[in-house]
Structure 1
């Protein structure tokens, strides 16, 4: 399609001034050409020009006018030459429906949001929420309870936790002295989290079994987690608001629409049968 436009534009530039255009007061419905009974209107040209790459939009209007009209005429001639059957017609209907629906969705989701709404959702989440506790812990992971109890005994005798983790732990944090860093509620498996929450900083747990094996856990530090800033959460909140607005609008449109299901008893597997188009 672009080659048709470029070729036509080049030819018109070389040929000289364009033909005189529609006189009077045209509107989008003004018919510029008819191809096999199909009308091509000024509105078609307006939409086509709006979607051109910016470098083509810089061409003179008289060049673009004739080039795009030629393009649309050629496209219609080619489209008419296709022997369309029922499957092609159904596909075109689906594509048209999807295009229009997408345009409407884009229109609904592009409307500006009220900052007060964003602030209200943020406040509802965090203004009265209790501060969550975050934990910084280390662990030593071994295969058996017996091995875990031996490690606890060594620690109680004064062994260094990080050294034992590097020597004995089978977990990926072993080479780092067993350090897991900071984590909050729900980030660890329940058995591990329950053991951590019962400790005070500096304390070591009894052996804890999880799906990964047996752990000996040391709680290093605790802190109150800070609420994320409004700006950090703004994209998430705006997405929530747009989704809620979209659902409400769709529900309103559905309620206002006259929708009647035919009630025909159709086997769902019929969707797989392309031969039905020939019947």
Structure 2
């Protein structure tokens, strides 16, 4: 979209550069509402609601300016925009109607999403999810292990013999392991059940801290595994996982509502193999 067709035609810093003849409106003694008229431009009213929505789109650094400063700057901006809009000769460009349709669709959808999330995101729902995913699960074992990954069983057996003879596991991992943890002495850090492929995890569970397994084959190659330590996981307090739980409930609620709407909707789509998708980059199609 051309630069001069941006919805916000000027910055707050430049908002006072346009000089026009202004007649003050009568003072508003009653309570202010979204319908309160704050300016009239050749018979077209600008309301407090217009200012509120314009302010909501400002970058954070402008949001912090004092209200009187913002009020004056935003009112100047909307008056200038209205003057320019009224000066248009002929029909409005085609992209204007399309942009308004997109904006309306987006705003209505966002409002519906907030309603859906508001209904789902209750204190009881958050506490129930915490109980389900964390509290009731109890402590689970976690392991800290290192490994050496090589391509063949023969290589693994040779390295196992060196370890048996007293060679340092970490040093051999740095020298021979083909896995990404090799430069770190093969250390994989802490992990819980289900985070490693089954043959690897099964081997780890049989080891005592400090012990090294025999060669283990997985789809990645052959491993020698050393268990460094083990512990029981700690159940996190609700406040530590509240944001995570909130995001899960929010996403699930919206996804469920969309799925429900899809089931009762009649939707036809043109897939990309049936249309020239490169048209997405052709702005001239809407600039008419």
Task: Report the TM-score when normalising by structure 2.
Answer: 0.66
Which one of the candidate residues 214, 237, 242 is aligned to 2:245?
237
Instruction: Provide the rounded CA distance (Å) in 2 between the counterparts of 1:92 and 1:248.
Output: 28
- Which sections of structure 1, spanning at least 5 residues, go unmatched? none
Asked if 1:139 corresponds to 2:140, the answer is: no
Distance change >3 Å, CA 158–CA 251, structure 1 → 2:
closer
Cα deviations by residue, 1:174-212 (Å, 9 ceiling, x for unpaired): 454433332222332333222222323333222112333
**Which residue, 73, 77, 80 being the options, matches 2:86?**
77
> What value does the CA root-mean-square deviation take over the aligned residues?
4.6
- Contact 2:153/2:222 (8 A) holds in 1: yes
Q: How many residues align?
A: 262
Question: Does the aligned pair in 2 maintain the 1:49–1:57 contact within 8 Å?
Answer: no
User: Structure 1 residues 159, 271: closer, same or farther in 2, change over 3 A?
Assistant: closer
Structure 1: distance between partners of 2:174 and 2:25: 86
Alignment correspondent of 1:40: 45
**Partners of 1:108 and 1:58 in 2: how far apart?**
36
C-alpha deviation, 1:6, in angstroms: 1.8
Q: Deviations over 1:46-92 (max 9, x none)?
A: 5467557454742497x6797467335314314x4363365653343
- 1:235 deviation in Å? 0.5
Identify unmatched segments of 5+ residues in structure 2: 1-8
1:60 and 1:137, CA in 2 relative to 1: closer, same or farther beyond 3 A? closer
> Aligned to 1:216, what secondary structure does the other structure show?
strand
Q: Output the CA distance in 1 between the equivalents of 2:185 and 2:238.
A: 36
1:99 deviates by: 3.2
Q: Partners of 1:101 and 1:82 in 2: how far apart?
A: 32
Give the Cα–Cα distance (whole angstroms) in 2 for the partners of residues 100 and 190 of structure 1: 47
Question: Highest CA radius of gyration, 1 or 2?
Answer: 1
Matched, 1:189 2:189: no
User: How far apart are 1:233 and its partner, in Å?
Assistant: 0.9
> What whole-Å deviation, never above 9, does each CA across 1:93-140 have from its counterpart, x for those lacking one?
223322343355457657995434322211122233143211122222
Quick check: 1:31–1:39 contact (8 Å CA) kept in 2? no
- CA separation of 1:178/1:72 partners in 2, compared to 1, >3 Å: closer, same or farther? closer
- TM value normalised by structure 1: 0.67
Question: 2:164 aligned to 156, 168, 182, which one?
Answer: 156
Listed as ranges, the matches of 1:69-148 within 5 Å are 70-78=79-87, 80-81=88-89, 83-84=91-92, 88-105=96-113, 114-148=122-156
Question: Is the 8 Å Cα contact of residues 142 and 214 (structure 1) preserved in structure 2?
Answer: yes
CA distance in 2 between partners of 1:185 and 1:131 (Å): 12
Q: What is the CA–CA distance in structure 2 between the aligned matches of 1:111 and 1:6, rounded to whole Å?
A: 45
Q: Structure 1 105/75 Cα, relative in aligned 2: closer, same or farther at 3 Å? A: farther
Match of 1:221 in 2: 229
The residue matched to 1:81 in structure 2 has which SS? coil
